[in-house]
Structure 1
Amino acid sequence: MLMQNDQFNQAMELRMILTRIATGEDTKEDGEKYKFLREVFVSNTFTKALLPDFVITCRLLNDFWPYIKRRFSTYADRREFIREEFEPILAYLEGDKLFMHDSIISDSIGKFDCDTVIYMWNKALDRREADPDGAITAARSLLESVCKQILVERNISYDDSIDLPKLFKTTTRSLNLAPERHIESIIKQILSGIQNTIHGFASLRNKISDAHGKPKGGYKVNKRHAEFAINIAGSTSSFLIQTHLEVPAVVGVFTDNKAVATKQRT
């Protein structure tokens, strides 16, 4: 996996290549470089979502020239347009809204390729400083969305009104992560700890997030609470996703919450 600053430099190079062709300064090597760099970002669900639309539609560098020529008549306008369009992905990669820990989680979530999950993760990150309440709610929704998507992909039915602890338990059982399914004490301890953390996380969200009204003088949420909630939800989601992608589905019936595994995942 590329380090964050490597991808930032590649995004800057991609922007410069497009700026050169928009201003008549492109070189022979730019065409191949563009194809390579475009593939780097298009192949990752997260970075693809942040790319300018014209990079998605212009598969070859020569495709960009008629587009930018029609759009703007002056070099100055073209430069400014390209600069503005690249700002979201550059800010993302530079770290204005992303810490290295977030990058690792983002990589796992990107591999999952689920729009709802990606949206909730981005929403949690975007809100953690300006809107900690909203960030905690988004973090909870992220974890719920990951669990539900895993169950859907494993052909396991569930009650849509199920609470997070039960939903998480159903998901971990489908992934063979339930503590009772392991005999090694250290493994059971770790898996039990994860379950207890999710119970605590659900309580945190219920007590101090914006999902419930708070009385006057109630507990005020700040950035550290949001950061804590996002780290829990993000790390747990990443662990579940990676396990889901590596472990075959468990065949069986989960009678405690009416979830049923219908077939082996191949």
Structure 2
Amino acid sequence: MTETSIKHGDAGEAPERRGFSSLQKSLFGVLAFFFAIHPVFWYLETHAGVPQPVASTVMVVVVVGCFVTALALPWLRVGDRRDWTRGDSLGAMVIVWVFIALIPRFIWELPWLLFFDQIVEGVENGALWTYMWAPILLGGDARYLTGDPLIICMEWIALFVGIFEAYALFQFFRNGRRFTSNQLSLIMAGMIVEVTLPAVYFGTEIANNLESMSSPVEMWVKFVLINVLWCTMPLLTYFWGVRRLVSNDLHVRF
């Protein structure tokens, strides 16, 4: 009887492990949209005559919208998420956030660190392949255009921490969407750094009278709005992790 029950239990769990969940498919859609908007706004700016500050600012708003949409998806009771509890949705949202925090590390910050001169040249010449960096380098934060040493140091720290977070996330999926206490602790430690770096980032610029900003609108959108999640979600993730560790509830539906 015991063996039969175990086999039935395994059979019941198998569909959850096969393929992608409805949430994951939706997130892939958001990711595809994120990449698709870059050539659109590049075309609007370089060929349709839309002013650079307007095109780049609107694109940043759309990018933030992608982030918010991705974070909201776990709360939608559709597909295989109809029976999810609020705790399930919160846990999945945290995993989504970790992805949001990690992806820019490797597709935006790492190339900027390694190919700084080429990216700056491409941005200044309106090259399509560098348009991902253009809104920040031109009108967002001039420190990224000039290669400010503090920013470079902070980005290397963020990348270093991101490697450990990526490892923990990889093991999470490898273990059937379950953390070990050590892996979740790595995520939590990373969140402490995630929220500390924006504090330094904002603090140094404010101390310098916002000299790297180009206009009030671009400051609020490209400097404040795009970084709001990095000032809030790490704290939520950290305390979520504390609660999960205390209750030894390390499995997350995703």
Please say which structure displays the higher CA radius of gyration. 1
Q: Specify which structure has the higher proportion of helix.
A: 2
Higher relative CO (Cα under 8 Å, sequence separation at least 6) belongs to: 2
When normalised by structure 2's length, the TM-score is 0.29
When normalised by structure 1's length, the TM-score is 0.28
